[in-house]
């Protein structure tokens, strides 16, 4: 495996573990759910476009902020 493939695999694995940690959706507000969803979508987009761990992390951060702002209006 190339280094970029390993980086993407690690990023996706970390995202999956984070999502598993948020498996108790019952106690979360709509805003918190939007933040998690935005971070997940942003991480996937960052990994696809930017590649590597940095692209994944940046995408997750931006997606989380956007999700938070969208969830605030609900």
The torsion of the CA quartet 40, 9, 23, 28, rounded to 10 degrees, works out to -30
> What are the pLDDT digits (tens) for 35-72?
888 998 888 888 888 778 888 888 899 999 999 998 88
Structural domain span for residue 66: 3-21+29-72
If one counts the domains in the chain, the total is: 1
Q: What is the largest CA-CA distance in the chain?
A: 44
- Note whether 37 and 19 are within 8 A (CB): no
Tell me if the pTM is above 0.75: no
**Phi, psi (degrees; rounded to nearest 5) at 12:** -65, -35
> What are the pLDDT digits (tens) for 31-44?
888 888 899 888 88
Q: Which two tokens stand for residue 39?
A: 């971070």
- Note whether 50 and 58 are within 8 A (CB): yes
């Amino acid at each position: 495996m190339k280094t970029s493939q390993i980086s993407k695999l690690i990023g996706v694995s970390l995202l999956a573990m984070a999502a598993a940690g948020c498996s108790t959706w019952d106690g979360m507000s709509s805003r918190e759910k939007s933040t998690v969803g935005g971070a997940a979508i942003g991480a996937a987009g960052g990994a696809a476009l930017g590649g590597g761990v940095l692209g994944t992390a940046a995408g997750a951060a931006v997606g989380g902020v956007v999700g938070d702002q969208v969830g605030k209006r609900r």
